[in-house]
Amino acid sequence: MTLVERFFDYISYDTQSDEETNMTPSTPGQMVFVKHLKEELEKMGLEEITLDDNGYLMASLPSNTDKTVPTVGFIAHVDTAPDMSGKHVNPRIVTDYDGNDIVLNQEQGIVLSPADFPELKDYIGQDLIVTDGTTLLGADDKAGIAEIVTAVAYLQAHPEIKHGKIRIAFNPDEEIGKGAHKFDVERFGCEFAYTMDGGEIGELEYENFNAAYAKVTIKGRNVHPGSAKHKMVNSIRVAANFIEMLPRWETPEHTEGYEGFYHLVGIQGSVEQTVLTYIIRDHDRNRFESRKKEIEHLVRKTNTEYPGSTSVEMGDQYYNMREKIEPVMHIINYAEEAMRMAGVKPKVQPIRGGTDGAQLSFKGLPCPNIFAGGLNFHGRYEFAPVPSMEKASEVIVNICKIVAER
């Protein structure tokens, strides 16, 4: 089976995660898919295949060298984002892309255009996998899964390529921030690993945001509007004032690179009560802590004007993996060399988000992130250049070679 055939097979499974279910995996479709993957790995003859009740699938390709070689792992997640449906994905290949608009759905007038997505121009002449505009594609992260399985199959077919023990793992619920929560690092048994969960070709990431959530609850007092003077407290208006007190330029739409932000992701409100849900992000740990303190300060300030009205529930989600990767920078050097061997220019950059690798790094498994090749994740305009996916799989093979040689 080719890489593209695997990818088309994998995206036919509906594996959207759901943060409301409080189960692992959060949706039954993920377990259906991971059982399918388990059968494929068994047919390939891999060893130490395990699938636990939480949907974590692991397997091994044994070493074929007498040398003592570190065990290296490769990881991808089986779920797709809750942002858009991943059910009944209908992909097609645009062969030899000519640089013009791609009509995804004639009937609904959905067009993937370089006018809106100029990065398309970087892939002129390549085969692109696109959607029909009614779903996301699922390259995040089924491209990563296909690349890992294809790389392992290549190593099996080419025993002349010497490598140590290779461990692979596919986990649920990365898109809702829980992919690493029940990942058994000890059972995985690797000295280091790589998540194949990045975007465009060449991406190599070992820095990510420090992340927290904040749930601000504002209680009001509802009184008939005809007799409300000096009695009513409209929680919606209080919430609007709270929102305006945060720096308007420190939001996702006004920041880039290492700049952090406050992101209001949800509002539920009535006169009686309004709840604001924020995510807080910053690469710098000190600024991250300051952002959390600012939220707490504004809660106190609001309570000064409206006593007892406002409370906050806040919690950390993950931290910047850089502090765990810097002591083992040779694993970044391996990835960079593997890319250059494949004719890919490494693009080392910070992640404006997080990956399972960040949490895994803090659980004792250093785990930077490598490109999977897709673009415009989480929506109908997602696409995956086939050569980028092929290069990602080649990089995996090259890393295995390099680790064995060193």
Structure tokens that stand for 255 in this block: 């920041």
pLDDT at 406: 83
> Residue 147 has what pLDDT?
98
Of residues 140, 138, 130, 68, the one with CA closest to residue 105:
130
pLDDT in tens, 155-200: 999 999 999 999 999 999 999 989 999 999 999 999 999 999 999 9
Alpha carbon 1 to its chain's center: 26
Q: Is 163 exposed, middle or buried (0-12, 13-18, 19+ CB in 10 A)?
A: buried
CA distance 56 to 311: 37
How many CB atoms neighbour CB 295 within 10 A?
19
Return the bridge partners of 94, or none: 128
DSSP letter assigned to residue 342: T
Q: Which domains does the chain have, with CATH numbers?
A: 3-207+321-405 (3.40.630.10), 210-318 (3.30.70.360)
Place of tokens 């797709």: 80
Please confirm whether the linkage preceding 141 is cis (ω < 30° from 0). yes
Q: Distance (Å, rounded) from C-alpha 165 to C-alpha 163?
A: 7
Which residue type is seen at 226?
A: G
Rounded CA-CA distance 163/160 in Å is: 9
Quote the CA–CA distance of 158 and 152 in Å, as a whole number: 10
Low-confidence residues of the chain: pLDDT under 50: none
d(CA 11, CA 99): 26
Residue with tokens 């993950």: 318
Report the predicted TM-score, pTM, of the whole model to 2 decimal places. Answer: 0.89
Q: Decide: 190 and 72 in contact? Cβ < 8 Å.
A: yes
Kindly list the catalytic residues. Answer: 79, 174
The dihedral through the CA atoms of 160, 164, 165, 168 has a sign that is negative
**pLDDT at residue number 354:** 78
168 near 148, Cβ under 8 Å?
yes
End-to-end distance of the chain based on CA atoms, in angstroms? 31
Q: What is the dihedral angle through the alpha carbons of 19, 37, 341, 200, rounded to the nearest 10 degrees?
A: -30
Euclidean distance between CA atoms 146 and 163, whole angstroms: 20
Residue-wise pLDDT tens digits, 293-333: 999 999 999 999 999 999 999 999 889 999 999 999 999 99
Q: Determine contact, residues 221/232, Cβ cutoff 8 Å.
A: yes
* Helix runs in 45-170, H state only: 139-157
The number of CA neighbours under 13 Å toward the Cβ of 156 is 15
DSSP 394: H
Percent of the chain exceeding pLDDT 90 equals 97
* CA 351 remoteness from chain centre: 10
- Tokens 């309570």 belong to which residue? 303
Give pLDDT, residue 19: 87
Of 347, 351, 346, give the one whose Cα is nearest residue 322: 351
